[in-house]
Structure 1
């Protein structure tokens, strides 16, 4: 048995990474709405790397197309 309380440091890091990914998406949505998908994708990828959030290429493609077409997207689930 562990003396560690419920909710480990790993969970806290994961939660922080998820929150950072959501912030990246919000920032890119506001800055890049209507921009070409390649520009949106580049900004998403750069922001996710800075946030330490790993996102699959297909997910970046999906999000960039949605931001280009609709101005918004769902934040990805990150590790």
Structure 2
């Protein structure tokens, strides 16, 4: 299982949903930057390697990104 609590995953998912909904076609750098800003605004610490995994998933996805699956074991 991931190192995140259910509440943290919910918060991370909310940020991922927000970023992925309006970042379609954006560069990975922009997606990563917006994830960082979103996590900072939400007051949740997400390590850079997990942020990179989420940014990659958003860039590669042709649908909804599930944070729990990306950050899971």
Cα RMSD over matched residues? Answer: 2.0
**Correspondent of 1:75 among 63, 67, 73:** 67
How many pairs align? 64
Q: Does 1:19 align with 2:7?
A: no
Contact 1:20–1:51 (CA under 8 A) maintained in structure 2: yes
Aligned partner of residue 45 in structure 1, secondary structure: helix
Contact 1:17–1:51 (CA under 8 A) maintained in structure 2: no
**Greater Rg over alpha carbons, structure:** 1
Runs of 4+ more than 4 Å apart? 14-17
Contact 1:28–1:43 (CA under 8 A) maintained in structure 2: yes
Structure showing greater relative contact order (alpha-carbon pairs closer than 8 Å, 6 or more residues apart): 2
Contact 1:48–1:54 (CA under 8 A) maintained in structure 2: yes
TM-score, length-normalised on structure 1?
Answer: 0.66
Q: Does 1:37 align with 2:37?
A: no
